[in-house]
Structure 1
Amino acid sequence: MPVVLAVELRKLNRSLALLLALAAPTLIAIFVFFNMLRGEKPQPWEMYTQGAAAIWAFFMLPMSVTALTALVAHMEHGPRAWDHLRALPMARWKLYAAKAVCVLGVVAAMSVLNLLLTWGAVNLAATLKPAVAPTGVFDLTGQAILLGKVLLAAILMIAIQFWIAMRFSSFVPALAIGIGGTFFSVVATAAKQGVFFPWQMPVNMLATEAWRVNTALGLGCGLGLVALAAAIAHLSRREVI
């Protein structure tokens, strides 16, 4: 497994995955930066960090997962390399498990970058325009915990996107599901049933009701791990179409 994982990491280094991992958090930081410069009065740190986390969980995370899983799958679909990989003298499940670990790792790295770049954007804006310098204290621990929960709640969504992207050689099904899931998440933001919708589970980590947070976290993480294991088992037995 470590060897397979190392190979997958080398593939990521040669792909556009790292560019994607940097682009999404950077866009959020740019938005926070210019939004601060538009202001006239100082706001608490929490307003900027929570705002960045909301943008990430609500829109950028689902779209990034859609693009990332399609990209990781296309590294094998494009050159039609699955026949060669599946013929290697190793358990097939290891191939898919390594890819799943890489996807989760990249999403985790993007979460960390979101936190760091938001902090940098706020400080840069405060330097250029001291009148809007944030008040209070930057709660690094609290924000890190929040983004960690967002990641855990997103595992079910990641598992669904991963399975579809790996199952079909065309990137259309994965993109259609990802765009559709994000669309319904946006238009049904206020729906109470959204806590059970995989694409809305991450943003529910910012909810004020404890039951929504706990329900979305439990379902997103618990069912997500089960779904990811089931996807790996299913993919290792099926042929790509």
Structure 2
Amino acid sequence: MKGFLLSFWSEFYKSRKTLGFWSAIILPLFLNLLAVAVFYTKSDKFMMYQPMVLWIQFSMMSLGIMGTLLLPMFVIFIAYSVNSVEHKADTWKTLFSLPLSRWSVYGAKFFYAVFLIFLSLFLFGVFTIAFGNLLGIVKPELKFGAYHMEVQIMQVYFKLFLSSLGILAIQFLLSLLWADFLKPMGIGFIATITGVIAASKNWEYAYAFPYAHPMAAITSMIKQNKGPVRDLEIDIFTKDVFVSLGVAVVVFIAGYFIVRRKSVK
């Protein structure tokens, strides 16, 4: 555990000034500020909406972009950026020669990538809630304060986080095996487009394809309740999420043995 923590903090210090780290913070801030600008300048258009509908419209401005094409591409970028430092400096042999187990080094790198994805999606939820309530204060005609969706918004982003782990595990392994950014990026981009098409066309087996999971998570997030509309519940653990978690575990373990053999050479 000590070796894992040392490796994890090492990843933080190596990446804290990189685009990969700051994109996890800047991206949610930028998209939410964009949503604020739209609602602020077009408040007369949104003032007639019911409070719950208003929250849904506001949150979907960021969620709709992030949950379709942008999240898989962001995961691909993060997976590569975590490993790019070693690729550029050609320090893999040095890294694996340290008095730390290879499992600690490999696991710390992977879970640091997981942390960056979690941080970004957590900030998406926090900024959405904070800016929505701020708009309700600055523009009282926008009745954000009359309804609360804090729990549901955080649940949606947590579901997106879980749905992205399968993609992350695959792209993380590809970025370890190839120093060239174009190969894992190209594979990930083609797979993402395929996944978006499969999910948008409601292909019955889309849940089995990891790159379709973020979009599938959005389309399957509302529980089918028979009660009133105000009882909005988010269905987090749908089958696409379970498949994503399963893929992440299997690829993570398989990746360790693949990388362990390659790293010795």
State the distance in 2 between where 1:141 and 1:128 align. 23
Deviation at 1:209, TM superposition (A): 7.1
What are the equivalent positions in structure 2 for 1:48-197 lying under 5 Å apart? 48-134=58-144, 136-188=146-198, 189-192=200-203, 193-197=205-209
Equivalent in the alignment of 1:21: 24
Instruction: Give the greater-gyration-radius structure (CA).
Output: 2
Name 1:12's counterpart in structure 2: 15
Deviating more after overlay: 58-67 vs 69-78 = 58-67
Between the aligned partners of 2:36 and 2:249, the Cα distance in structure 1 is: 36
Distance 1:79 1:57, change over 3 A: same
**TM score, norm. by length of structure 2:** 0.81
**Counterpart pick for 1:214 among 235, 238, 241:** 238
CA contact (8 A) 1:205 1:213 kept: no
CA distance in 2, matches of 1:187, 1:93: 37
Structure 1 residues 177 and 212, CA gap change in structure 2 (3 angstroms)? farther
Residue of structure 1 equivalent to 2:227: none
Give how far 1:81 is off. Answer: 0.8
- Supply the distance in 1 between the matched residues of 2:79 and 2:247 (Cα, whole angstroms): 19
Aligned alpha-carbon RMSD (Å):
2.5
Output the CA distance in 1 between the equivalents of 2:160 and 2:32.
18
**What's the secondary structure of 1:202's corresponding residue?**
helix
Instruction: Give the whole-Å Cα distance in 1 for the aligned partners of 2:130 and 2:240.
Output: 30
**Deviation readout 1:138-174 (Å, 9 max, x if unpaired):** 2222222222122112111110110111111111112
How far, CA to CA, are the matches of 1:56 and 1:34 in structure 2? 18
Matching residue's letter, 1:198: P
Counterpart Cα distance in 2 of 1:69 and 1:9: 14
Q: How many angstroms does 1:5 deviate by?
A: 1.5
Which of 189, 197, 203 is the equivalent residue of 2:215? 203
- Residue 36 (structure 2) aligns with: 33
CA contact (8 A) 1:205 1:217 kept: yes
Cα distance in 1, alignment partners of residues 197 and 131 from structure 2 = 29
Structure 1's 176 and 240: CA in aligned 2 closer, same or farther, altered over 3 A?
Answer: farther
SS state at 1:150 partner: helix
Cross-structure match for 1:3? 6
Distance (whole Å) between structure 2 residues aligned to residue 32 and residue 118 of structure 1: 9
Structure 2 letter corresponding to 1:221: L
Aligned partner (choices 229, 241, 254) of residue 230 of structure 1: 254
- Give the % identical residues: 21
Task: Give how far 1:29 is off.
Answer: 0.5
139 and 237 in structure 1: CA distance in 2 versus 1, 3 angstrom threshold: same
User: TM-score of the superposition, structure 1-length normalised?
Assistant: 0.88
**Equivalents in 2 of 1:102, 1:151: separation in Å?**
14
CA contact (8 A) 2:84 2:179 kept: yes
Cα distance in structure 2, aligned partners of 1:90 and 1:148 = 32
- Give the Cα separation in 1 of the matches to 2:96 and 2:65: 39
1:60–1:27: structure 2 CA closer, same or farther, 3 Å change rule? farther
Q: Deviations over 1:112-136 (max 9, x none)?
A: 1001111233234444443333364
Q: Higher mean Cα deviation, 144-153 or 203-212?
A: 203-212
| Paired position in structure 1 for 2:231 | none
Higher relative contact order (CA 8 A, sep 6+): 1
Instruction: Report the Cα distance in structure 2 between the residues aligned to 1:75 and 1:212, rounded to whole angstroms.
Output: 35
